[in-house]
């Protein structure tokens, strides 16, 4: 499964950013800024952004930790990271990128103040293992930050469902040339154990002293934060 996922992202990589910005109407940028604020990332901290893709969350973290901090972006699909170094350099941000699978990170224990993953954990075969690996490489008292899609409820939820089922695959397919990747996005987002269910999964790992969820845009997405046990 993970090789199919990696291959799918390799194919859409060149058009990922344009599809992302069009389909979210730019909202993803606000979500990332909010998640970084919630993480309380500050000057001089070290951050590992997993499944970084084209590097937008890593860039947002770098803005928060400043020149004294350091940010590493990793992904198991090198094609997805291809444009990330140029994007960061163009924004005047010094970020290190390397290939890594979030379920088997090669960094020592307690290496980072914060580890993060945005819109990546939904694609991972074993999300609990990803959370455990992220927590292992985070220092005690540090934070694991996850942004992932949810399933909004009520009238807004019904409208969003229509958007997700019909518009996302059609527009995403037209922009990327790969409709199946955007049907996959809609399907996996609808099935993802969001909100309380994801908090339960985080608790089951037994690596966090506390976990929290903050809805973004009425629950279209959530930011989850787990504080690593001391
Ligand atoms: C939807 S993209 C999100 C990219 C980026 N984080 C963002 O917010 O735009 C999902 C990313 O997860 C990566 N990914 C999926 N499974 C992974 C794994 N096991 N280890 C590392 N990266 C993974 C994919 O290669 C892809 O770049």
Supply the CATH number for residue 153's domain: 3.40.50.150
Domain coverage including residue 70: 2-228
pLDDT for position 24: 87
Q: Per DSSP, what are the bridge partners of residue 214?
A: 223
76 close to ligand 1 (CB < 6 Angstrom): yes
For 169-200, how does the pLDDT look when each residue is reduced to its tens digit (9 = 90+)? 999 999 999 999 999 999 999 999 999 999 99
∠ CA 72-77-78 to the nearest 5 degrees? Answer: 70
Output the pTM of the full model: 0.96
Average pLDDT of the residues in 69-77: 98
pLDDT for position 1: 63
Rg of the chain, C-alpha, whole Å? 17
- Residue 79 CB neighbours (<10 A): 17
Total of domains in the chain:
1
Starting at the earlier edge strand, list the strands of the sheet with 221-228.
96-99, 70-75, 46-50, 112-118, 138-149, 221-228, 208-216
Mutating to test ligand 1, I would choose from 34, 48, 53 the residue with most ligand atoms within 8 A of its C-beta, which is 53
pLDDT for position 119: 97
Q: Has residue 168 got a pLDDT over 90?
A: yes
Q: Could you give the 3-state DSSP secondary structure of residue 228?
A: strand
Tokens of 139: 């220092």
122 CA to centre of ligand 1 in angstroms: 9
For 115-153, how does the pLDDT look when each residue is reduced to its tens digit (9 = 90+)? 999 999 999 999 999 999 999 999 999 999 999 999 999
77 close to ligand 1 (CB < 6 Angstrom): yes
For 93-108, how does the pLDDT look when each residue is reduced to its tens digit (9 = 90+)? 999 999 999 999 999 9
∠ CA 181-99-113 to the nearest 5 degrees? Answer: 105
102 close to ligand 1 (CB < 6 Angstrom): yes
Smallest CA-to-CA distance from 227 within 204, 198, 207 is with 207
Residue indicated by tokens 């291809």? 82
Q: Please tell me the distance from the alpha carbon of residue 50 to that of residue 173, in angstroms, as a whole number.
A: 25
Q: Please tell me the distance from the alpha carbon of residue 188 to that of residue 123, in angstroms, as a whole number.
A: 8
For 7-53, how does the pLDDT look when each residue is reduced to its tens digit (9 = 90+)? 999 999 999 999 999 998 889 999 999 999 999 999 999 999 999 99
pLDDT for position 25: 87
């Amino acid at each position: 499964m993970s090789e199919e996922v990696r291959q799918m992202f390799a194919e859409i990589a060149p058009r990922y950013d344009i599809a992302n910005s069009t389909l979210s109407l730019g909202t993803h940028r606000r979500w990332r800024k909010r998640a970084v604020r919630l993480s309380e990332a500050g000057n001089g901290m070290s951050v590992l952004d997993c499944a970084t893709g084209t590097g937008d969350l890593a860039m947002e973290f770098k803005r928060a930790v400043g020149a004294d901090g350091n940010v590493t972006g990793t992904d198991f699909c090198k094609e997805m990271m291809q444009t990330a170094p140029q994007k960061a350099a163009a924004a005047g941000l010094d970020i290190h990128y390397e290939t890594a699978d979030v379920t088997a990170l090669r960094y020592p224990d307690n290496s980072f103040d914060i580890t993060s993953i945005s819109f990546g954990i939904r694609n991972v075969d074993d999300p609990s293992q990803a959370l455990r690996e992220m927590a292992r490489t985070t220092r005690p008292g540090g934070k694991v930050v996850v942004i992932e899609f949810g399933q909004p409820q009520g009238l807004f939820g019904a409208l969003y469902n229509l958007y997700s089922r019909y518009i996302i695959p059609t527009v995403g397919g037209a922009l990327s040339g790969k409709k199946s990747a955007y049907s996959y996005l809609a399907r996996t987002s609808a099935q993802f154990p969001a909100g309380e269910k994801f908090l339960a999964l985080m608790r089951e790992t037994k690596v966090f002293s506390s976990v929290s969820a903050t809805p973004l845009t009425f629950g279209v997405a959530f930011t989850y934060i787990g504080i690593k046990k001391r």
